[in-house]
Amino acid sequence: MPTDDVERLKGLGVKGQGEIRRWLREKQPDRGSGRAFWWESLATRALHEVYHAGNDEDRRAYASVVKAVTDEAVEVTVLSPVDGAIRIAKLAAVLGEQGRGLFDANEVVKECLSYIGVPFDVAATQASDWRALPLPGILALRRAKNLISASSPLRDRVTDAGLLADLTRWAALRDQLP
């Protein structure tokens, strides 16, 4: 990605989610094989800048772009909601306090847990003998583990007691999952 595009991303990052998403809708390629690649390239570049930004302000601006790109990519169905939730949870965890206002830990964790798709009691029972499950069952437990792993670092910022209890319960089961 050319340097001027990287600077444009940073400039967009300070303008807010609505404006970033409008820009993304205008610039996205039409349907075709390169469409998903465009979205992923944009997210990857912005994530790279989050990790290598020289200061907190730039880091937050690029993180804002990653959030908008992820939300929009999920909306236009080039990124699965599960993968989007995992990306956002990991980014929120990396940013820590810098992410306040951009990420609500309660909402991020709630979204991750909503995609688990297996009731806790069922997962707890299946975890003890997951190798005997058919492949779809193993994949469901693996998805649960990925979502739990992404959201667990946010535990100290979750303020909803019920949500925190759910996350803690799932986190205790995580190491038993495939």
Q: Which tokens hold the place of 4? A: 């001027």
Question: pTM of the entire structure?
Answer: 0.88
From residue 124, give the alpha-carbon distance in Å to each of 103, 109, 120, 164, 177.
30, 20, 6, 18, 9
CB-based burial, 149-170: b 16+ in 10 Å, e otherwise: bbbbbbeebbeeeebbebbeeb
Q: What CA–CA distance (Å, rounded) separates 132 from 151? A: 27
Sort 22 into a burial class: Cβ within 10 Å, 0-12 / 13-18 / 19+.
middle
Question: Residue 5: what pLDDT?
Answer: 61
Q: Where are the domains of the chain?
A: 1-79, 105-178
Sort 98 into a burial class: Cβ within 10 Å, 0-12 / 13-18 / 19+.
middle
Contact between 98 and 60 under an 8 Å Cβ cutoff? The reply is yes
Q: What CA–CA distance (Å, rounded) separates 5 from 62? A: 12
- Name 106's Cβ contacts closer than 8 Å, sequence gap at least 6: 158, 159, 160, 163
Query: What's the pLDDT tens digit per position in 81-119?
Result: 999 999 999 999 999 888 888 999 999 999 999 999 999
Q: Which tokens hold the place of 12? A: 């967009």
Query: What's the pLDDT tens digit per position in 118-157?
Result: 999 999 999 999 999 999 999 999 999 999 999 999 999 9
